Chain A
């Protein structure tokens, strides 16, 4: 049995979903599209399990974005694997009129329906009272009162769902089919064996939005529409107006309003006086951003150090108890080190999404969109791009996915194309180690550390290049699509901590399983490439080193052997192969290996560098990596390899380079073509190469 939760944005649908399913939920994709599908399981009153699907929030069945289109497609396709047996329509009772529009539409599709009246407490506060039994009688379907914030009324809802599944009730609302449309509607209804005329009307008026229809079916429907000289917009406008009139009549019998109390917006408007003030608005926004960065980078350090240490000691422990063999090495240096590289980012991602979800929960994020819209529009994006841009400071993968809320394709595409320029958390380890190498640990005015300022500078560089990139794309891309900015501003609310917790859990899970897969796979491949090599160069490395360094103890010999082996491994040969191309940037073949391996994921860079400069896993703390890098001398020139010029060149390279397989994969998924990820890869690589080259020659 499948029960779908359906409702307007901000109606409390997701908290109801969390209350019903608890931790028994998973995130998947709807077939064929990349819209997140939240599915969970819930025990209803007879003890049986039902599947609950949380459909994206929408105002009507006429979609304006990809997310909303999913709702239409699931509900009009009876063969869809998620087609519900029952729809629970969740409504915001303080705004019943608008919320009932979607209810009527879903109901008219012939899907058995339960109406869940949510946020009655808010309605009461503003003097709105609803006669629930009478409403139930007028609508002819079950109506339940719930409080999704507090989790009250859930048992009643479960009982109602149980009963409604036993005895499915549908209530038809309006006669919408005109005389001249009747034969066509009948024909469509029969051909697709649809339940109601209203479903057939959607097939007729929204043919292009129903991607599950085959080409022949689409043509069949388009021909009918042409014959009828159908005015789809006019039809839709009339439908909405008729429905509102109908809803208004129903509500006049069940809703009472105490007019003197009735202004729900007073408090929100007062807060807005400050938060979208022409001066304080921006000051507060920047202050909040600053706070977020400070906490993401300082607080997250403690758990990250713990994880780092934990993984290292686990590896040491395993190495000490397991027999010395290739399999042990693969397990410890390949697999566990790879998993460590994923797990280490969890604290930062958790912190960032904690803040983002608090901002969203409280209603502030919508104000940020308002504050930033005009500024950011000049750069080919919309205010709604602010959320992906901010999120990509944790990771571009969820950020690019969050760009789905942008209805306009051009705005969305530009946002997707420039989002990876924002510095993500995977660049942070690279920045940290290179900055520590070349930026003095002093303070400006005894207050701001130079190293911290350098770090902020790199983030700002990423941000401004994203804006400039957007500006260029705006000039290049052409579109004649029309979409709108109009959006609802939710009232300010206290964040629900449980909801924040769920968001964190959800994002961390996505990161660990989506990005994690790639990182672990690459770590293993890297280990194989670095542990094997062709011919005698590799197999005789040990003997050669021993012969050249007679008299050294085996402890002293070991790192030299490892380095010799690496140089002759497949990875080493690749590094040498690309050396001519990266020499102008100031890099040697060892950095070349790290560039190649970190092509899959940037965070691999530090790990590779530390392997290459033969630092054992047991003393792999920053200071030793740092001192090793500092002491590394180029045998040809006698200069340090990590000179100021080379280090800055690398820093700049990593600000711009698109070194992340997961991002490429997600851009492909979101744009449904290889064209955009390839363009993105090419432009970002070119930008990285040219800027790193310029920086190197300027500083040299």
Chain B
């Protein structure tokens, strides 16, 4: 199973599920619903955190450990 953490810079994916319920709640209210397209824009210089754009509308920053819990197709 692929997660957001497996994306390469510039690569896209579509959210399929969340592994962490509490984090899912936070992401849901920020507009990351299952079925939303996300793109990995940048990794910070030391490999973490990540900057992702959500349906080309806005950018979020999250840690690698958090990215691992967002599964994508």
Contact = CB atoms under 8 A, between A and B. Distances in A.
A98 B45 contact: no
Contact of A370 (B31, B51, B56): B51
Nearest to B46: A374
B29 A370 contact: no
Given A241-B28, A486-B61, A488-B60, A370 B49 contact: yes
A101 B42 CA distance: 28
Nearest to B48: A374
Interface stretch (A56-64, A592-600, A620-628): A56-64
A529 interface: no
Contacts, number: 113
Interface string A472-489: 000000000010111111
A230 interface: no
A237 B28 contact: yes
Contact of A97 (B21, B31, B42, B53): B31
Nearest to B27: A486
Contacts of A255: none
Interface in B24-72: 24-31, 33, 41-42, 44-49, 51, 53, 56-63, 66
Contact of B26 (A373, A486, A491): A486
Interface residues of A, number: 45
Contacts of A187: none
A98 B49 contact: no
A383 interface: yes
Given A264-B56, A374-B47, A98 B26 contact: no
A239 to B, nearest CB: 9
B6 to A, nearest CB: 18
Contacts of A27: none
A366 interface: yes
A265 B49 CA distance: 19
Interface stretch (A271-279, A497-505, A536-544, A569-577): A271-279
A440 B49 CA distance: 45
A370 B53 contact: no
A489 B56 contact: no
A265 B31 contact: no
A371 B46 CA distance: 8
A276 B42 contact: yes
A366 B46 CA distance: 16
B29 A101 contact: yes
B44 A59 contact: no
A491 to B, nearest CB: 8
A486 B21 contact: no
Contact of B25 (A62, A268, A375): A62
| Interface of chain A: mostly helix, strand, loop or mixed | helix
B45 A485 contact: no
B28 A489 contact: no
Given A366-B61, A488-B30, A272 B25 contact: no
Interface string A244-268: 1000000000000000001111001
A261 to B, nearest CB: 11
A240 B48 CA distance: 28
A373 B45 contact: no
A631 interface: no
Contacts of B24: 237
Nearest to A407: B26
Contact of A262 (B22, B56, B66): B56
Contacts of A236: 25
Given A281-B45, A370-B44, A375-B46, A488 B29 contact: no
Nearest to A94: B57
B44 A482 contact: no
Contact of A265 (B27, B33, B53, B63): B53
A268 B59 contact: yes
Nearest to A363: B59
A227 interface: no
Contacts of A237: 21, 24-25, 28
Contacts of A484: 22-23, 26, 62, 66
Contacts of B46: 374-375
A279 B60 CA distance: 22
B63 A373 contact: yes
A98 B58 CA distance: 10
B29 A62 contact: yes
A450 interface: no
A233 interface: yes
Interface string A481-525: 010111111010000000000000000000000000000000000
B21 A233 contact: yes
10 contacts: A237-B25, A264-B58, A265-B56, A272-B51, A273-B42, A374-B46, A374-B49, A485-B49, A486-B61, A488-B59
The 7 A-B residue pairs whose C-beta atoms are closest, nearest first, are A278-B45, A98-B31, A489-B59, A374-B46, A60-B29, A240-B28, A486-B62
Interface of A: 59-60, 62, 64, 94-95, 97-98, 101, 233, 236-237, 240-241, 244, 262-265, 268-269, 272-273, 276-279, 281-282, 366, 369-371, 373-375, 383, 482, 484-489, 491
Given A94-B57, A373-B44, 10 more contacts: A98-B57, A244-B33, A265-B53, A273-B42, A276-B51, A366-B61, A370-B49, A371-B45, A486-B66, A488-B61
